[in-house]
Amino acid sequence: VNALAWHLRGTAIADSGEMRAGLVHRIDKNTSGLLVIAKNEQAHARLAKQFFDHTIYRRYVALVWGDFAEDEGTITGNIGRSPRERQKMYVFEDGSDGKHAVTHYEVLETFGHVSLVKCVLETGRTHQIRVHMRHIGHPLFNDARYGGDQILRGTTAASYRQFVNNCFSTCPRQALHARTLGFTHPRTGEEMF
């Protein structure tokens, strides 16, 4: 937000005194991709409402451990704080706790023991993709919080371990990228992606 304010200094919007920029959409720490930043309070309120109403289109790509039995599917499960580890989120299958969460996935490509998947969110819960993928047995590649930072598939050969460790070094975070955001422009009503 500060970078946006600096970038807009000296422009008509900044000089009018109406610019109260705000972060509308953020991604998890160590996730690459898109942010949505509103230039003023009115835009912020309208965009935030779209996120609250789950009318924003969010598409991510992720590299996950394992091959999928089905090339596409839907994961539904309430997400809330883990009862054992407060730093983690957890899927409550029985719906006893947490908030309703839905993730649609499609396998884009398989690379031996990992798969590249597209994830489209119906809801937007903290760590939703990371937790849902872990829940179905496919933690994100190199996701230290949810167990993907260990070799979960493949051989025990030293050369394979070295290859995976080199991959971990190349991508020293969970392999998750916010690829596409779609929303209605807060002023014009135009659909934007």
| Cα separation, 71 vs 67, whole angstroms | 9
The separation between the first and the last C-alpha atoms of the chain, rounded to the nearest angstrom, is 20
Render the chain in DSSP notation, one character per residue. Answer: -HHHHHHHTTSHHHHTT----EEEE---TT-EE--EEESSHHHHHHHHHHHHTT-SEEEEEEEEES--SSSEEEEE-EEEE-SS-TTSEEEETTSSSSB--EEEEEEEEEETTEEEEEEEESS--TTHHHHHHHHTT-PBTT-TTTTTTS--SS---HHHHHHHHHHHHHS-S--EEEEEEEEE-TTT--EE-
Catalytic residue at 28? yes
Q: Tell me which of 15, 28, 53, 149 is the catalytic residue.
A: 28
Give the active site residues: 28
